[in-house]
Copies of this chain bind each other. A is one copy, B any other.
Amino acid sequence: MADSSAPTRVMMAVNESSLKGYLHPSISCRTAFDWTLSKLVRSNPGGFHFLFIHVQVLDEDGFDDMDSIYASPEDFHQMKQRDKIRGLHLLEYFVNQCHQLGIKCEAWIRHGDPKEVICSEVKRVQPDLLVVGSRGLGPFQRVFVGTVSEFCVKHAECPVITIKRNATEAPQDPVDD
């Protein structure tokens, strides 16, 4: 079983911790990334190529900008710049990890509804596998929220792996995830 074929292209949707102002990857996507490295990539970094996508939702209610006043187009421009920098910080974390392990990767930012954008990026980029972390919501929350992972399993045009966060890793306050 020679490994002469092209590397397995693994697309991974990553997001920030939802704790406002907190610049780190969410627990769910770090769990998914670490799991993929230890259980799938294992000792074969040359066999895989990671594609990180971060989808930014425009913060319509402006919750994390409550102390800001938008008085000019320039204010909005600055807000967008700040979002972009945050997204780049997030992607930098994953790109650095891959670089240290000798795994090739690419990373980019898109805007819109995460579940729709992820599926359209799968269509465009045609990875071998899509990895999505999941917060493992209970049935009650699931009915009303509808998770990104469930949508992707149904609609993404490639195999999808759903990695639930361990119950022990759930933050005390859900907003910290």
| Residues A162 and B164 in contact in the complex (CB < 8 Å), given A39-B128, A43-B3, A44-B42 | no
Q: How far is the CA of A161 from the CA of B36 in the complex (A)?
A: 12
| CB of A2 within 8 Å of the partner chain | yes
With a cutoff of 8 Å between Cβ atoms, the chain B residues found around residue A112 in the complex are none
Complex Cα gap A128–B43 (Å): 16
A1–chain B nearest beta-carbon distance, Å: 5
This protein's copies in its complex: 2
| Among B43, B150, B163, contact of A1 (Cβ-Cβ < 8 Å) | B43
Task: Report A141-170 residues with CB < 8 Å from chain B CB.
Answer: 142, 149-150, 153-154, 159-164
State whether B153 touches A40 (Cβ < 8 A). no
Residue of B nearest to A43 (CB): B3
Q: A1-B41, A43-B44, A150-B154 are in contact. List 11 more A-B contacts (CB 8 A).
A: A1-B102, A3-B43, A8-B42, A39-B159, A42-B47, A44-B44, A142-B154, A153-B153, A159-B161, A159-B164, A161-B162
Question: Which 9 A-B pairs give the minimum distances between C-beta atoms?
Answer: A3-B43, A161-B161, A159-B163, A42-B47, A8-B39, A3-B42, A39-B128, A44-B44, A153-B162
